[in-house]
Every structure is written in structure tokens, then in C-alpha cells.
Structure 1
Amino acid sequence: MLAHFVRFFFLSCALVAPALAQAAPAAAPSPPAQGRVIASADGLDILSGPRRVEVENRILKDRLEGLLPKLMAETGLDMWLVINREYAEDPVYFTLVPQPSFAARRTTMLVFFRKADGTVERLSVNRYPLGGPYTSAWAGGDLDAQWKALGEVIASRDPKRIGVNVSRDWPVADGLTSALHERLRSVLPAGYAQRLTPAEPLVIRWLETRTPAEADVWPQVVALARGVIGEAFSERVITPGVTTTEEVAWYIRSRYEALGLPVWFFPDVNLQRQGAPCAADSPFCGVSGVIQRGDVLHTDVGICYLKLCTDTQEMGYVLRPGETSPPAGLQAALADGNRWQDLLTAEFVTGRTGNEILARTLEASRKAGLRASVYSHPLGFFGHAPGPTIGMWDNQGPTLVQGDWALRPDTGYAIEGNVRRQVPEWGGQYVLMKLEQSALFDGQRVTYLAGRQTQWHLVR
């Protein structure tokens, strides 16, 4: 079994020109109606470490100079403090500092001050200066001197509203520890503690908003994620009657590692089979085991590359002897899934909350005769990123706080959910189509970043 797995892992397969054309990243993302099956990650350029760092730092500088001033003005903050300690980093920290950066050395303090001309001064108050794109306001000395210097930096600029990362409802906006918060208050001038305010709106807007530079590179990140799925759900990896779902999951994990693409959760691979019914009300459907001909396959996996994450679920079918395509009932089930995606993305309107989009989509699905479940979420620096939650797999009703967040332009989403359909060729047994594709909302429409699955992955 192991030899079988290793053999396929290192197999180099020549693909025909049309397949390579599908795999290559397009100049612009495909419109929602034009789905693509990406057959392989072969041929897609993956940046080496130094090149990767250069791109990440160029994008960071662009975000700090072009996006942050707008968001600080939008949220009404004069100053934003990000204070954290080594190996207890604020969740937002690594989105603000240049690479390579592995930890907040000792105690690291970042200060963002919105000046009268609208620009934002970026300062570091650190034992070890960060260098560009930050100006060092203090370096060296002991911890007491560092905190004293921070108090002086704040007092000299006299901000009226000072944002700190404390939040009851959003984990990513709650990075300031209790001890650091207490010490900050102790070094502030008299009366300044009353100027502290949660930076929650700024943190969420910073994390959820994508810039044009990020929108340019994100399609390739998603194409890489989808390409490995295309490899895994093929005869390159799967031998019916031999290969297990667990081995396919490990292939996906190992293939990403070989490409230098970290996964943010371990891949899941499962199967549905005629004669092993999926309950009409089951939220998942799918078991592990040896893959056989006639099985329906499903995977769920996410990677992060160039600081941008993906989340993808796709479906495969293992052809029976004599078959060249899945049964008509399964093809209809995938078409139902694509129809459900269209109904969901049609409800993306700037200003609508996640709860409103959920309710409208479920009603539209009901009217279309689809048995659908919606659990879409934002994507970006995190796989489960902040922004409007559009349903949960275990809650198809309103979600407090996160579900009430409004949809905004230039934000990314995992278009995630499922549709179940009875398959005549399987004696009316239900099959659950579990689909998820990464997409960008530009304020007017939703665009799938590297197409979406409109055809079954086939194991021949």
C-alpha cells in the first residue's frame, strides 16, 4: 500500500494542452457562470522564499500606505496600538509586519497615528527595530524604559480616540492581553485612559478588505489549491479497490507540503456509496474506507500562500467499467449545486448583513425546489476570517454579531454549503453535494477566483 502511494506521489504525468490551458491562471478571474475544472497544479509558478517575501512585503506596504489611512478615518480612530509579546502574538500582528518575521521579539509595540493631512505615521517602540515600513521611535534599553517611551509617544501626539485590540465577540480583535492592557493604562498621562476604545471595527475592516494587488495574486493561490484536488481525484493517485480515503487525504497534504504551501487544516476525504444511504436530514454524509468503483468522493481542504487563504470542497466520481461519465442523476445533483451557488451569490448586495443574505438564499432555494444548506464565511488572512457570517452548518437561522455584520466591497468569501438530491440510478438514495469555492465580492458581483467546479472529477 505504501509503495502504491509513494509511486503515485512522485509520478510525473504529461497533460494535454487543453488541460494546461485550464490550469493556467487567467488574466482576470472567471465570471461566476463559467466554471473550470483545474486538472493539476503542474505548470503553475510557485514563488521561492525570497521572491515570496518580496511580494508579501510589497503588498503590505501598499496596504499600510493606501488602505489603513482610509480605514482609520472610516472608523474614527486617531491612534491604533498593537502591543504583544513573543509567542503570544496578537492575531492581527503578522498582517502588519514585514517578512520574514517569526515572532514579536520580546515585547513589540506598533503605533499608528492619523495625522491632520490624512496620512498615517507608523512607529515601532521595540527593543529590536523592525525597519521599513516603520520608523523606530525607541530602541534598546529595558522593558520599563520601553513602556515609558510608549507613554511619551502617545502624549506627544495627543490623540483623542486611541484604539486597542479588545473585543468580547471577535477573537481576531481581542489580541491585547489583560496584563498588557493594565500596563498600558499605567503609563498613560492623566485622563488618557478614558480615550482608549475598542479597535474592533478597524481590526475587522483591516482583515476583511482586499486590495487590488491582493486581488491580482489571489486567483493563482486558489488555482494551486484546486489543482492538487484535481490530481488527487484521478487515476494518478487512486486505484479502485486499493487506495483508501485516508491515503488520498495524506497525498493532498504531502503534495501541498512539497510545493511549499501550508495547509491551515488537515484535508478531509470521504465517500458516499450506493447501498449505504445518506439520511435525508444528515448534515454531512460521507464515510472513510477503501475507494471502490461507483463511489462519490468529497474533499475539503484549505491552504495559505502569499498571506492569502483558500477553502475548497469538490466532488469526484469513480467510473464503473464501461462508464465514461457519472450517472445522469449525479450530474443533475452537481447542476443543483451550481444553481444553489448562483442563488446565494445573487443575494450579495453591499450593505446587506450575513443574516439577511442567508434568509434570502434559503427562501430562493426553497422556491427553486432545492434542498440546500448554507454555511458560507469570509476568507482572507485567515481561512475562517472576520466579516459577515452567512449561516452555520449547525444553525440555519440568524447568527448574533457576526451574522449582523454588513457585506462590503472588496471582500473574499468561501461560497460554502450543500444540496441533497435523490439519484434514480441509486434507487432514489440521497446524495449530498458538498461544494465550496473561493470568491471575491467587488461591490457589484461575486467572482470565483479560479473558476468553480461544474464537472465531476473522474477516476478512470
Structure 2
Amino acid sequence: MNLLRAVLTASVLLAGCLAAAHSCAQSSSPSQGRIVDSVGAVLAPRDRVAPENGMLQERLDALLPQLMKEAELDLWLVIAREYAEDPVYFTLVPQPSHSARRTTMLIFDRQADGSVKRLSINRYPFGAPYESAWSGGDLDAQWKALGELIAKRDPRRIGINVSKQWPVADGLTHGLHQQLLAALPPGYETRLVPAEHLVVRWLETRSASERAAYPHVVGLARGVIAEAFSAQVITPGVTHTDDVAWYIRQRFEALGLPIWFMPDVNFQRAGGKCAVDAPFCGEEGVIQPGDVLHTDVGICYLKLCTDTQEMAYVARVGERDVPPGLQQALATGNRWQDLLTANFRTGLTGNQILVATRRQTQAAGILASTYSHPVGFFGHAPGPAIGMWDNQEASPGQGDWPLHAMTVYAIEGNIKAALPEWNGQHVQIKLEQTALFDGERVHYLAGRQTQWHVVR
């Protein structure tokens, strides 16, 4: 686990900062290669290369062979061009890599002993973890080299990235597909099969090192939310929801943490509108005492993405506690999460989990909506979709994908509850936390919100 030394050092620093109640001042050191901040420690871009490449090596060595066997593929081709990279491409190449460099061909050849030989046919060789099978010639020679390699290997099933269902598994462009067909030995076109099963399993499965690093990544996101939902950022009667959203975005940028969507911040308040059949409740504007706040943020760090939604209450002058109705509403949201995650069973599809959760929430009298999804190399990653915000019925397609062990999910959805303090008006509690399914249980990677953030 030497590859995680830098990541685990950052995790220790994070714990120390939190224990000191945000007393750590922001600092950086070229020799240490990290930013130490009140929300945690973040490696500088240069120092992310070693752990990211170590994780890639581990995945290629330990994970890819078993997944190629599972998909019954003898050869897997990932072919990409500069500015038109296959979605899976950057999960397979060492850093620092910014493009496919003209036409890049990755070949994964499953051996008789189950291991996978990793080859590249590329104008610019990668080096480790790939062995160069050809380099340096023109494009025609490159395609000829690929055809000759395939003929020599004589694979029965050749996986290519084409898919009707999964966008991430449909990365082989039409032009490259046509060139591949022309380069194949006669009759080999019948050996081409969609590699979508392998692509989805590759993207959804987390390695041991990724599972060790992921809690720190999620903790960074949650730490910035806690900071944003405080008097350090919000002055009731002055601060606009957009101010908070941009604060969150700029804090992530200052830490060198890319976002994969613009942070969202909105409020609900007494006298507002939150219809029972409305998919979402919330407005934008100047924040006032008594408001209920919500945010939705997503970052990616060490190639691992998060998706997080949390709630806050803006206390009125002299108010010591969050109103009981809101405390109960959040507890109901946690109860919905428990019902959902209790239905996670290996082999069940996203649709089956959705149907079971809806039945249980209805029996419990909880007005809930479930729309959870996998996360990983992408914020909206492939794997079993467990409902959609605009479709609470079981649907064919991604909802039919089965649950596998060592996969990560955004436990996402909402509940509505009538508040006595708001004369029976509904409040919507929108929650989302990143969690690992280990094959038996669901584990929140950096905890979950069970108490309100309070702006005093």
C-alpha cells in the first residue's frame, strides 16, 4: 500500500484539522506538495501523479483480468483520437495524460493463465504500464500493425466499445470503427462483440486503494459544505444564495479540486410553495432568518468523484435550537436512507431495489422520492440506476443492471414533511451522500448528515 502514503498522510492531516475546530491555517510547501487547509489536506497536481498511477497499476494487475474473464473477452480494443477520446480512455492511461495524441490504440490480451498483457500501438509510446507493440510510423502503418497483431493473437472474441444502452461504453467513433473493419484480417469482423459489460464493470468497481482514499475525498466535499453553511459565509438579510454557490465553487478551485457541475444553493421558507406533487422545492434569493437551505455539490480528486446534498437552518435572533418539526423531518430523511440501503443485496437490480424501497416508504407513511446512482470515475457513473427524479417506476435499461460488491453510490433522494411551525406547509429534505456497498452492507464513506447545519 506504499502508493497510498501521500493520500493517507493527507487523511491524517484532515483529522487533525477537524479536531482543532478549523484552527489549521491554509499553507503550502513545495517540498511537501500539498495544501493544508481548514477542510483538509490536498495534494498538489504534481504529487497526485504517483498515487493515481499506483491505483491504475493495481486496477490493471488485479481487477482487469477477472473482469475480462467475467465478460468472456479474449481481446479488448480501446481506440481513441485526439479531441475525441473514448470515455473510458483516461481511466486506462497513466498521468500526466491530457489527450490521446493523434490515434492511440490500447490492446488488452487475455493470456491462457488468466493474466492480461497490456500493449499499445501508438505514435508516442506510453511506457509502463504498457508494452509498446509498435510506434513511430504513419497512420496507415499503425492500422496495419494492429491488423497483424490481431491475426497473430487469433482471439475468438474481440471486445470493442460500442453500446446502445451505455454512453460510457460507446466510445468507438464511426470513423474509427470503419478503419478497424478495414484493418482486420478477412472474416475477423464476426469476432467483434460489444465490450459494454466489461466497460461498466471496470468503471463501477473500486479497488482496495480507491476504497482507502475515497473517504478523504468525500470528507473534503463535506468540509466545504459545513464551512459554506455557517456565519463565516452567510449574513442573513444580505447574502444571496448565488453568493454561497460561488463561494463553494471558488473554495474548491482554491484547493485545486475540479467540480463536475456548478454548485446549487436554494432556500425554502414559511409562506413559500412546496406542493406535494412538485419534484423539487426551493427558491433563489437573499437568505433570511428562519430559512431552510439546501446545497448540491460534486468534486473529483484522485480520479474519484463525489455527489453530496445537505441541509441547513438559519436561526432567528435568540433561537437556541432547530425547530422540532425540522428535526423530525431530517430524522425522517435518515429513515428513508435506512430503508433504501437495507435493500442493497448483491444481484438485485436497481429496479428491484427501487420497487422494494417505494413499497416500504409508502407503508411507513413517508412521502419520499428515490433517485440514487453510482459514482466513481464519473459523477453520474454506470451501474444500477435506482429510480429517476422524473420516473419513480421501474424502467428497462440501466435500472436492470444488477448490484455488485465494491461499488460506490450517491444515496440520493428526498422526503416531504408537513411542518407544524409553518402551519402545515411542506418542507422538502433533499439528501445525498456517497457510500460504498461492500457486498453485504452499505457504508457512508465520510458519514452522513444526521444533524442540521445551523447558521447563527
User: What TM-score do you get using the length of structure 1 for normalisation?
Assistant: 0.92
Structure-2 change in CA distance of 1:41 and 1:365 (3 Å): farther
Aligned to 1:457: 453
1:69 equivalent to 2:61? Answer: no
1:256 partner amino acid: F
Q: What amino acid is the match of 2:406?
A: D
Whether the aligned pair in 2 keeps the contact of 1:374 and 1:416 (CA below 8 Å) is yes
What does the per-residue CA deviation read over 1:375-421, in whole Å, with 9 as the maximum and x for residues that have no partner?
00001000000000000000000121100000000000000000000
Tell me the CA shift for residue 269 of structure 1: 0.3
Match of 1:173 among 144, 169, 174: 169
Q: CA deviation at 1:42?
A: 1.3
Deviation at 1:20, TM superposition (A): 5.9
Question: What do residues 214-264 of structure 1 show as CA deviations (whole Å, max 9, x unaligned)?
Answer: 000000000000000000000000000000000000000000000000000
2:435 equivalent to 1:439: yes
CA distance in 1: counterparts of 2:429 and 2:413, whole angstroms: 8
- Work out the CA distance in 2 between the residues paired with 1:41 and 1:454: 25
Distance between the aligned counterparts of 1:253 and 1:77, measured in 2? Answer: 42
Answering whether residue 210 of structure 2 is matched by residue 221 of structure 1, we say no
**Pairwise CA distance, 1:50:** 2.3
In structure 1, C-alpha distance between the alignment counterparts of 2:407 and 2:215, rounded to whole Å = 14
**In structure 2, distance between residues paired with 1:296 and 1:43:** 23
TM (norm. structure 2) is 0.93
Unaligned runs of 5+ in 2: 1-15, 24-35
**Pair 1:81 & 2:77 matched:** yes
How many Å apart are 1:19 and its aligned residue?
4.2
| Counterpart amino acid of residue 81 in structure 2 | R
Q: Distance in 1 between matches of 2:258 and 2:224?
A: 13
- In 2 relative to 1, CA 242–425 (structure 1 residues): closer, same or farther, beyond 3 Å? same
Secondary structure at the counterpart of residue 298 of structure 2: strand
Query: What is the distance in 2 between the residues matched to 1:105 and 1:258?
Result: 30
2:304 is aligned to 308
Give the counterpart of 1:411 among 382, 407, 422: 407
Question: Is the Cα–Cα contact under 8 Å of residues 409 and 443 in structure 1 kept in the other structure?
Answer: yes
Q: Select which of 418, 423, 427 maps to 1:427.
A: 423
CA distance in 1, matches of 2:373, 2:273: 29
Using the alignment, how far apart are the partners of 1:435 and 1:18 within structure 2?
A: 27
Q: Which runs of 5+ in 1 are unaligned?
A: 1-13, 22-39
The answer to whether the 8 A contact 1:41-1:228 is kept is: no
| Selected match of 1:378 from 374, 379, 391 | 374
Work out the CA distance in 2 between the residues paired with 1:109 and 1:315: 46
Residues 281, 43 of structure 1: CA spacing in aligned structure 2 closer, same or farther, 3 A cutoff? closer
Choose which of 259, 276, 282 in structure 2 pairs with 1:280: 276
CA contact (8 A) 2:369 2:392 kept: yes
Give the superposition deviation at 1:329: 0.2
What secondary structure does 1:265 align onto? coil
Match of 1:185, SS? Answer: helix
Taking the aligned partners of 1:50 and 1:251, their CA distance within structure 2 comes to: 25
Q: CA RMSD in A?
A: 1.4
Distance (whole Å) between structure 2 residues aligned to residue 301 and residue 291 of structure 1: 19
Q: Which amino acid is 1:174 matched to?
A: D
| Matched residue SS, 2:43 | coil
Q: Which runs of 4+ in 1 moved over 4 A?
A: 18-21
Structure number with the bigger relative contact order (C-alpha 8 A, sep ≥ 6) is 1
CA offset digits 1:138-188 (Å, max 9, x no partner):
000100000000111111111100000000110000000111011101111
1:91-118 deviation line (CA, Å, top 9, x unaligned): 0000000000000000000000000011
Distance across 2 between alignment mates of 1:177 and 1:155: 23
Matched position secondary structure for 2:64: helix
Q: In the superposition, relative to structure 1, how do residues 305 and 161 fare at CA in structure 2: closer, same or farther (>3 Å)?
A: same
Are 2:115 and 1:119 aligned? yes
Does the Cα contact within 8 Å between 1:41 and 1:227 map onto a contact in 2? Answer: no
Structure 2 residue corresponding to 1:271, chosen from 267, 273, 276: 267
State whether structure 2 residue 328 is matched by structure 1 residue 328: no
Q: Distance in 2 between matches of 1:405 and 1:75?
A: 14
Q: Which amino acid aligns with 1:389?
A: A
1:204 is aligned to: 200
Q: Which residue of structure 2 lines up, in the alignment, with residue 25 of structure 1?
A: none
Q: Secondary structure at the residue paired with 2:260?
A: strand
Report the count of equivalent residues. 429
